[in-house]
């Protein structure tokens, strides 16, 4: 890895009093992510095969808990990660995509999709999440012809009740959303966007997300005219304290609900290979959130009727090396309580959870937060391990 002191350009402390200082730190994070991604081993992929076998999960829909199929198409990777932005600080998807200059062709996408689609019994798994580890509506990642062919095939499958796609907000257009509605008549369709944090500054510096709240709002307006919006919220990105993470998560969930999100998916940050979060974790500068914090966020949010808050259970692809944890005595019990909550959306499953480790979590919440610029400067400690 490049020498981090050199990458800092001699800056010893960050003053966030002006836009130039914020931009300087943003450039530093971007450069560091580029270097991290440069360490991903070169692999040969069969572009006619999906990135991973379809995963089976659960989700409540229309008051019923269903099994859902989660399909991962093999792509070149997220354009935001491949180009100047260099991706999000916690995302490990790029490590399992081709990252080649030559795009996956329409024919290859259709072969991937059809072969995997044919394996799924939608009578048993009537909910489908289809991910290309990027933006489903970005023509540079998946061609319009491939997207249209995929939508037409899904539309002919009468047993599919709900479909979820992911995208960044800048690729949401009225024409694209209307096409989905036309090709998937009678199906509940959710377009998912990872807003993560409401505040533009923290979303940029902590996550390197690369879009603004205004862009999310615009995409939300377009999506909710004809389809449904799903919003991802990240709990405890790097550089935030446990208490800040809880407060920010509650704030953005309430905001996304007000903007018409049909579903909020609370995703607690995990540690995946070839991410900034992984490098911070190895340097002792990051730890995933407590399970206590996930429960606290769910308890604090009031969800209006017709909308829902679910908890992502860390079944990410690629698989994380570290996930949220309390202690050996209670973590399994907390995870089971969260699974029961997801199956019912009944917060009573989260009541009466107790353990001696609660005092440790409360101490973390009560700890005075260090100045934000000090936390950022601590990233230089990584250099001591190189």
Q: Is 308 helix (H, G, I), strand (E, B) or coil?
A: strand
Whole-angstrom Cα distance, residue 156 to residue 19? 51
- Give me the average pLDDT of each 10-residue run along the chain (386 residues): 36 47 76 92 94 95 97 96 91 93 94 98 98 96 98 98 98 98 98 97 94 98 98 97 98 98 98 95 94 98 97 85 97 98 97 97 96 82 50
Domain ranges within the chain, ordered by starting residue: 4-385
What distance, in Å, lies between the first and last C-alpha atoms of the chain?
7
Instruction: Answer left, alpha or beta for residue 112, where phi above 0 means left and psi between -120 and 50 means alpha.
Output: alpha
Residue 160: C-alpha distances to residues 127, 154, 155, 179 (Å)? 6, 8, 8, 18
pLDDT of residue 12: 36
**Tokens 């059809």 map to which residue?**
114
Nearest CA among 2, 77, 74 for reference residue 33: 2
pLDDT of residue 125: 98
Nearest Cα to Cα of residue 181 among 165, 193, 194: 165
- What is the number of alpha carbons within 13 Å of residue 280 lying toward its C-beta? 26
Which token pair is 284?
A: 């002792």
Q: What is the pLDDT of residues 67-113, one digit of tens each?
A: 999 999 999 999 999 988 899 999 999 999 999 988 899 999 999 99
How does pLDDT run across 238-290, given as a tens digit for each residue? 999 999 999 999 999 999 999 999 999 999 999 999 999 999 999 999 999 99
CA distances to 246, 254, 289, 328, 338 from 349, rounded to whole Å, are 20, 22, 20, 20, 7
Contact status, residue 216 vs residue 193, Cβ threshold 8 Å: yes
Fold of the domain built from segment(s) 4-385: TIM Barrel (3.20.20)
């Amino acid at each position: 890895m490049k020498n981090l002191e050199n990458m800092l350009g001699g800056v010893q402390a960050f003053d966030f009093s002006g836009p130039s200082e914020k931009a300087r730190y943003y450039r530093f994070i971007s450069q560091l992510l580029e270097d991290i991604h440069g360490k991903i081993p070169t692999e040969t992929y069969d572009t006619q095969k999906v990135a991973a076998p379809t995963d089976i999960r659960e989700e409540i829909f229309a008051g019923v808990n269903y099994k859902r199929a989660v399909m991962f198409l093999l792509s070149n990777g997220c354009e935001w990660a491949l180009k100047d932005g260099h991706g999000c600080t916690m995302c490990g998807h790029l490590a399992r995509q081709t990252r080649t200059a030559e795009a996956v062709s329409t024919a290859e996408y259709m072969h991937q999709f059809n072969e995997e689609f044919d394996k799924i019994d939608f009578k048993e798994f009537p909910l489908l999440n289809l991910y290309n580890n990027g933006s489903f509506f970005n023509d540079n990642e998946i061609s319009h012809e491939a997207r249209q062919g995929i939508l037409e095939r899904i539309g002919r499958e009468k047993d599919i009740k709900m479909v979820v796609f992911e995208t960044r907000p800048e690729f949401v257009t009225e024409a694209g959303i209307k096409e989905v509605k036309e090709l998937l008549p009678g199906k509940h369709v959710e377009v998912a966007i990872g807003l993560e944090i409401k505040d533009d500054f923290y979303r940029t510096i902590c996550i390197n997300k690369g879009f603004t709240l205004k862009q999310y709002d615009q995409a939300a307006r377009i999506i909710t005219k004809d389809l449904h919006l799903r919003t991802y919220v990240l709990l405890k990105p790097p550089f935030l304290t446990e208490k800040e993470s809880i407060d920010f998560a509650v704030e953005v969930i309430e905001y996304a609900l007000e903007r018409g999100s049909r579903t909020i998916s609370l995703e607690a940050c995990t540690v995946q290979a070839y991410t900034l979060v992984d490098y911070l974790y190895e340097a002792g500068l990051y730890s995933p959130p407590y399970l206590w914090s996930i429960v606290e966020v769910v308890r604090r949010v009031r969800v209006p009727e017709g909308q829902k808050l679910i908890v992502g259970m860390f079944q990410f692809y690629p698989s994380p090396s570290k996930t949220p944890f309390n202690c050996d005595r209670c973590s399994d019990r907390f995870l089971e309580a969260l699974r029961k909550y997801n199956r019912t959306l009944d917060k009573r499953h989260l009541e009466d959870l107790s353990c001696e480790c609660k005092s440790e979590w409360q101490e973390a919440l009560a700890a005075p937060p260090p100045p934000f610029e000090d936390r950022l400067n601590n990233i230089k400690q990584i250099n001591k391990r190189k």
